[in-house]
Amino acid sequence: MKQNNTGINTICTHVGELKDNEYKGAVSPLYMSTSYAFEDVDIKRYPRYFNTPNQKALSKKIAALEHAEDAMIFGSGMAAVSTALLAFLKAGDHVVLQNMLYGGTQNLVTKQFENFGISYSFTEGLKPSDFEAKIKENTKVIYIETPSNPLLTITDLAAVANIAKKHNLVSMIDNTFASPVNQNPIDFGIDVVIHSATKYMGGHSDICAGAVASSKVNMERIFQLAINLGGSLSDYTVWLLERSIKTMGIRVKCQNENAMRLAEYLEENVNIKQVNYPGLASHPEHALAKSQMHGFGGMLSFELKESIDATEFRKALKLIKSSMSLAGVESTVLSPTQTSHALLSEEDRFKQGIADGLIRFSIGIEEPEDLIADIDQALEQVKAKQPALNSQ
C-alpha cells in the first residue's frame, strides 16, 4: 500500500534514485558493469539476476508506484507476462483468462501453453460470474486486463480479486493501458501487476521493457523462474527508463485530458460509428471505471462509418502517426487487425468485437485542437475521394 501520502510526481522523481556520492550529480549514476565482486560482499550482483544497482533501484520506484512490496524489471512486456504466468503454472494446471486481451498474451496462451501441459479457459464476458464459471479444480491463476486492448472494456478489480481469494487462486492483471498513475490494482486486492514498461513508463517510444510488481513472497517465486528464462534488461535501458518515469505523472495527466477531449469530439462527429473510451458517460462500464481509476487514460478506439475507408483515413493524417506501439508523447493510430491482434484468427477477432475498420488511438501531449484539426482534414480528404460512396 502507498505510504505517507507521497504524491505521484514525487514518487516518480525521487523514489529508488541512486545517490552520486562521489560527484553529487542530480541524477542517478549509471553502472554499466556486467561483472561484480563475489568475495567479501553482501550481494553477489549479476545482470541476469536482476540485482545490479540500477536494476534494484528502479524496481523500488515501480514497487512504490504500484503500492507493492517488491518489483522486477524485464526486457519486454511479454517477458514480464510470460514469466509471471509460468511462475505460478505447471503441467496439469489451469488458468482462467479474460476474453479480451492483448493479442501477444492471447497468442502466448493459445500457441504455447499446451506444450507445457497447461490448460486454459477464456471467459464468455466480463461479469464476475463469467470468471467464476470457468474455474476448475486445477485452476491456479485468474488473468485480466483492464482497460482492455483495443476495445477499452473495464473489468471489476475488486470482484475478480475476491473470487481469486475465495478459490485460493493468484490474480494477475496487465495494467499497461491504465499505468500506475491511473490505476493501482493491488489496492483492490489483485495479487500481481504486470506492465509493458515500453508504454507509459517509457513514454517516448524509444525503450522496450516490462515490469512486474507484487508481494515479496510472490516476487521471490517469479525471480526463481526469471533467472532461468533470462529476460533481464540492460542497465543502460534501465537508466533510461528511470529517467522517463520521472515525467510519467505529468505526461499521463496531459494524455488523460487530451483523450477525454478527443473522445467527446469523436463521439459527436457524424463520420464516426462508435467510440470506445471509459471516460465517456456512454461507455457501458463508465461507472465502474470511475470507481477504480484515478483517470481514464490516454487510449481510445473508434470505428469510422462504413463509407469511409479506414486505411485511407490513416494515410491521410499528417500530424498523427500510423505507428505500431502506443503511449508515447506523440499521438499515434493503428489497425489492431494488422498489428496488435494480427496473430489472432479472424474468428477470434470477430468474437472479441475487433472489426477490420477499428482504429486504436493513442493520444499524446499535443494541443487537442491540433489533433482535431488533423482528423478533420483527413476525413475531408478521404470523403472527397469517395463521392460515389458518400452519395449512397
Q: 223, 190 in Cβ contact below 8 A?
A: no
One-letter amino acid identity for 271? N
Cα(first)–Cα(last) distance of the chain, in Å?
A: 58
The DSSP code sequence of 343-377 is TS-HHHHHHHT--TTEEEEE--SS-HHHHHHHHHH
pLDDT at 350: 66
pTM (2 d.p.): 0.95
Residue 287 and residue 360 in contact, taking contact as beta carbons nearer than 8 Å: no
Q: How far apart are CA 279 and CA 293, in angstroms?
A: 10
Q: What is the pLDDT of residue 236?
A: 97
Q: How far is Cα 70 from Cα 88, in angstroms, rounded to an integer?
A: 17
What would you measure as the largest C-alpha separation in the chain, in angstroms? 81
All residue ranges of the chain with pLDDT < 70 are 1-4, 339-352, 387-392
Give the pLDDT of residue 386: 76
Cell of 216: 515479496
User: For the chain, what is the mean pLDDT?
Assistant: 94
CA nearest neighbour of 259 among 295, 219, 207: 295
CA pair distance 162, 192, nearest whole angstrom? 14
Say what the pLDDT of residue 121 is. Answer: 98
- In tens, the pLDDT along 160-212 reads 999 999 999 999 999 999 999 999 999 999 999 999 999 999 999 999 999 99
* Residues, the chain: 392
| Cβ-contact 361, 333 below 8 angstroms | yes
The predicted pLDDT at position 354 comes to: 75
With a CB cutoff of 8 Å and minimum separation 6, the contacts of 340 are 102, 103, 104, 149, 150, 334, 360
For residue 338, the model assigns a pLDDT of: 74
Alpha helix locations (H) across 102-153? 103-112, 128-132
Q: b/e string for 241-280 if b means 16 or more Cβ within 10 A?
A: bbebbbbbbebbbbbbbbbbbbbbbbbebebbebbbbbbb
